[in-house]
Structure 1
Amino acid sequence: MTKAPAWFDITARNAERSRRFYGELFDWEIAVDESMNYGLTSTADGVPGGIGETGDGSPHPAGVVLYFPVEDLDGAVARAERLGGSIAVPAWELPGLGRMAVILDVDGNRIGLWQR
């Protein structure tokens, strides 16, 4: 695999409950940023990620999204659309971390793209 996942995101209806579940299941340490209600995982091995909460008006429904690294986010989104995919969440900036977008593949699966 040339493009391994760079981040995972678990979006839950009840983030506190979900963080407790995954923390105990995988023995993860999770540091919660209360201002965003988002917990960053600290895993011994593997892909870094976080657990947040969805709610009314959120573009992120409950579920899991793997983010794959891309060098050109806008180009990758356009390529996905040419291949039959669509945009689920338009590109947004994470100050100091890069830009992300979420697309739907040809089967409706949510896939994240991340340009650092």
Structure 2
Amino acid sequence: MSDKHPAWIDITASDAPASRAFYSELFGWRLRLVEELDYALVEPGPSTLPGGIGSADATRAAGITTYFSVPDVELTLVRAEALGATVSTPPWTVPGLGRMAVILDPDGNRVGLWQD
């Protein structure tokens, strides 16, 4: 996977079931609910960006975060902070998959970083 391309889209919704129905109808997404996480994964397809839809709560505000592939999460965080971003979610490891973090760009937009 080359770096700096969209790797995942995360939709956090105040009403996740309604949001799942909306995006399924709008884009024809097929979703697979992981009940223990209250998170629905978008089934892969030739024209589908991988992603999922989860519930907002006290620690996760509603909104959309696009994750971009980067070769090194920590180095990208250092560069992002030097350019005026702030770290929203520090790096953490998704066992067996990779590392991720979330920044707020200078305008406050959430941007995800993903390292395979």
Q: What TM-score comes out, normalization by structure 1 length?
A: 0.91
C-alpha displacement of 1:98:
0.6
Letter in structure 1 aligned against 2:33: V
Distance of 1:23 and 1:31 partners within structure 2 = 11
Distance of 1:61 and 1:102 partners within structure 2 = 13
Give the length in aligned residue pairs.
113
Instruction: Name the residue aligned to 1:89.
Output: 89
Q: CA offsets, 1:39-67, max 9 Å, x none?
A: 000253131100001112x1x21000100
C-alpha displacement of 1:77:
0.6
Identical-residue share of aligned pairs (%):
50
Instruction: Name the residue aligned to 1:47.
Output: 49
Q: Which residues of structure 2 form unaligned runs of 5+?
A: none
Instruction: Name the residue aligned to 1:19.
Output: 20
Letter in structure 2 aligned against 1:71: P
Instruction: Name the residue aligned to 1:37.
Output: 38
Q: What TM-score comes out, normalization by structure 2 length?
A: 0.91
Residue 101 (str. 1) matches residue 104 (str. 2): no
C-alpha displacement of 1:23:
0.7
C-alpha displacement of 1:35:
0.4
**How big is the alpha-carbon RMSD for the aligned residues of Structure 1 and Structure 2?**
1.2
Instruction: Name the residue aligned to 1:75.
Output: 75
Distance of 2:91 and 2:42 partners within structure 1 = 23
Instruction: Name the residue aligned to 1:8.
Output: 9
Distance of 2:61 and 2:96 partners within structure 1 = 25
Distance of 2:115 and 2:5 partners within structure 1 = 14
